[in-house]
Chain A
Amino acid sequence: MRNPQLNRNGGLQHLLTIDGLPPEILTAILDTAAPFTEVAEREVKKLPLLRGKSVFNLFFESSTRTRTTFEIAAKRLSADVINLNISTSSTSKGETLLDTVDNLSAMQADMFVVRHASSGAPFLIAQHLAAMGLEHIHVINAGDGRHAHPTQGLLDMYTIRHYKQSFANLVVAIVGDVLHSRVARSQIHALIALGVPEVRVIGPKTLIPTDVDKLGVRVFHDMRAGLRDVDVVMMLRLQNERMQGALLPSPQEFFKYYGLTADKLECARPDAIVMHPGPMNRGVEIDSAVADGPHAVILPQVTFGIAVRMAVMSMLAGG
């Protein structure tokens, strides 16, 4: 079965997940993102690469933040951006996901940026477009269920490479709610594909998915042990609804055992960087002193995120 993200020449047709992408493509995306970072400093923050193209932000799950970063990236590439926030209530009125896609395709879309609560939804859209002979329309996964958030994973890799130059000798820890995190899955696949020798996940057993070690990571339940000699700490967001109930007793207890504090961070290497995909829950997964401290690279992540999304969009549209 051909990877549905790749075209016949092995180039990138869609960006749906990092799982299964050759490392050369990941590196090419990071390399292409570098010159885009400089565009933000110009008087006119716009490049003509996607001039005349229509990018549809199809958000079946609301996320102002992610949508905005894609919107800025597309606009800096001179694309026309159409934002559609499609609540599940309107799809339950009878129009299926693929009806929506067919309608927008008929409006001469060139690219769909898709956020959906169900894992695999962007795959369904990409497969449908192929079946309809609409292979000129590209799909970017902006987060699907628990499955993947590939542009987030890539911007995290860009950030790591920016601060650590190489992936070759790093120890990286991903901390928190791995079970429900599409970000964590994309990070794991990217880190392993780019040659990070040791990737760890840290969290209570209720938040670590079954057989996650088979993806190539080491599992730790003790945060201090897991942070020992780590070069990069990647914190995950804990959703409000999961802070108390059957997964966790309370946000306070979670913070005590799995929240990143300056004290716990001392277990890591002195030059360790601290990342977070945002938005942060201060005092739940991360202490303010760390979030605003010298190790944090959380704001640069946001800046790089726009360049990485510009790189992905222009590679897809020019491919």
Chain B
Amino acid sequence: MKIHIKNGRLIDPSGGIDAQADLFIAAGRIAAVGAAPDGFAANRVIDATGRVVCPGLVDLAARLREPGFEYKATLESEMAAAAAGGVTSLACPPDTDPPLDEPGLVEMLKHRARHPGFAHVYPVGALTLGLAGERLTEMAELHEAGCIAFGQAHAPVVDTLVLMRAMQYAATFDFPVWLQAQDPFLGRDGVAHDGEVATRLGLPGIPVSAETIALSTLLQLARDTGVRIHITRISSAAALEMIVAARASGIAATCDISINHLHLSDADIGYFNPHARFAPPLRDRRDCDALRRGLAGGAINALCSDHAPVDDDAKQAPFGEAAPGASGLELLLPLTLKWAGEMKLPLGQALARITSDAARVLGLAAGTLAVGAVADVCIFDLRGSFRVTRESLRSQGKNTPFLGRELPGRVCCTLIEGHVAFENEVSEKTHARLRG
């Protein structure tokens, strides 16, 4: 299959490209950029006039809910959502049921996900058995089965000795650890940022110190053990400052934030909106502003969807009893574009955070349109906007605080390894009409 994507605005952050250029794909890889290779005869020509052609998105956190939570979502539904969102590579956290703590489970997941048109799935293995924070998993075996890093999802390792041993063991094989900074005691019963909003609504609070104290532990142990550490889903300005300071002192920590924390603050809880419940919680407006600037400047390495499809029953509960998290695969690109527009950032710089920079955190040669790279491509219409509705989401999880919002950036076409994994028919028709 040879594909010629013509007349598009090609943006490849990894190569610093933002120009009108054609893209040529053959045998699942990027064959050429600009001029066609000799003798290239396309089986299919995709007209990208007026559209942006960029690398397929790399999402550092998307829960597929398999195994164990098929009532929330299935691999099929979430892979369709990923393709519709332009996401071609994703890391999935280990908080499945059972958790991804033995090689068989990881192999099964990799096997199920190996399907044309499905995004590349990179499991994050459990750092401890059952995520219980007590015994180490067989990290080397898990790595052979396909795990690219080890983490705990939302489950903390309470015993700091176990945490240090786990980091030492991971460092032995140079496996990265991906951990969230959340003290298990401070804000133990908390459901919202400990501030004016939580006080007004009578919601038990989670103080910022719950994040900074745990972060301090993680950073110091990372320095002592030499493990490669990635801090997942930071939520506060204070945490960002600590990571920046740690880097200055020689700790090579990376970090990410979610699309929800990029756009929302605790004020968005409104009248107890359960869709605004997250772990870590939405912080206040100043924290949100600091994260937005941090991501723009690159102090925050990557932006992720933190995709967490939840069934309706689990969300239709009083705020504190509602399951945290939001569906996000299909909103990663639109919310990146919205942020870029509001911050007046060059498109290439914004897209880097969900392509090349995210791939660098993953340690993969993805998120690029360099010649020879796997042909994972996203084509989107910058001018098109859409309203987020339950019907518009392909994910089985209809839970998102952005329901009803009008967002920019419609994905028109997604290619995974040179296969067309998604085409937006509606947008194809309107596109034809606009041109015709």
Q: Residues of A with Cβ closer than 8 Å to B?
A: 1, 4, 19, 96-98, 116, 118-121, 123-124, 127-128, 144-148, 182, 185, 209-212, 214-215
Q: Shortest Cβ distance from B393 into chain A, in angstroms? A: 19
8 smallest beta-carbon distances between A and B, as pairs: A120-B272, A147-B202, A146-B202, A118-B318, A209-B199, A121-B318, A211-B196, A119-B202
Interface positions of B (Cβ within 8 A of A): 194-196, 198-205, 207, 270-272, 274, 313, 316-321
- Determine the residue in chain B with the shortest Cβ distance to A188: B200
Distance of A211 Cα from B199 Cα, bound (Å): 7
Q: How far is the CA of A121 from the CA of B317 in the complex (A)?
A: 7
Contact B272 A119 (CB under 8 A): yes
CA distance A120 to B274 in the complex (A): 10
Which residue of the partner chain, among B194, B313, B320, contacts A119 with CB atoms under 8 Å? B320
Complex CA distance for A145 and B203, rounded to whole angstroms: 8
Closest Cβ of chain A: how far from B62's Cβ, in Å? 27
Separation in Å of the A184 CB from the closest CB of chain B?
Answer: 10
Contacts of B195 in A (CB 8 A): 210-211
B272 and A215 contacting across the interface, CB-CB below 8 Å: no
Q: Mind listing 14 A-B residue pairs with CB under 8 Å?
A: A1-B271, A96-B317, A97-B318, A98-B316, A119-B320, A124-B272, A124-B316, A124-B317, A127-B271, A145-B202, A147-B201, A147-B203, A210-B207, A215-B200
Collect the chain B residues with CB atoms within 8 Å of residue A1's CB: 270-271
Q: Nearest Cβ in chain B — how far from A29, in angstroms?
A: 21
List the A residue with the shortest CB-CB distance to B316.
A98
Give Cα A141 to B157, complex, Å.
40
From residue A121, how far is it (CB to closest CB) to chain B in Å? 4
Nearest-neighbour CB distance to chain B for A17, whole angstroms, equals 9
Closest Cβ of chain A to B399, distance in Å, is 15
Cα distance A124–B273 when bound, in Å?
9
Minimum C-beta distance from A315 to chain B (A): 21
- Asked if B319 and A118 make an inter-chain contact with CB atoms under 8 angstroms apart, the answer reads yes
**Which of A1, A121, A215 is packed against the most chain B CB atoms within 10 Å?**
A121
Whether B199 lies near A124 (C-beta < 8 A) is: no
Assess whether A96 is in contact with B316, with CB atoms less than 8 Å apart. Answer: yes
User: Does the CB pair B318–A146 fall under 8 Å?
Assistant: no
| Complex CA distance for A118 and B320, rounded to whole angstroms | 7
Q: Are A19 and B318 within 8 A (Cβ)?
A: no
- Provide the bound-state CA to CA distance between A221 and B391, in Å: 53
Task: Please indicate the chain A residues that have their CB under 8 angstroms from the CB of B319 in the complex.
Answer: 118-120
CB pair B194–A210 under 8 Å, yes or no, is yes
B205 in complex: contacting residue of A97, A210, A215, CB < 8 Å: A210
B316 cross-chain contacts in A, Cβ below 8 A:
96, 98, 124, 128
Nearest chain B CB to A67 CB, angstrom units: 20
Within the assembled complex, what's the spacing in Å between the Cα atoms of A119 and B200?
11
Indicate if the CB atoms of B272 and A123 lie closer than 8 Å. Answer: yes
Which chain B residues border A4 with CB–CB below 8 Å? 271
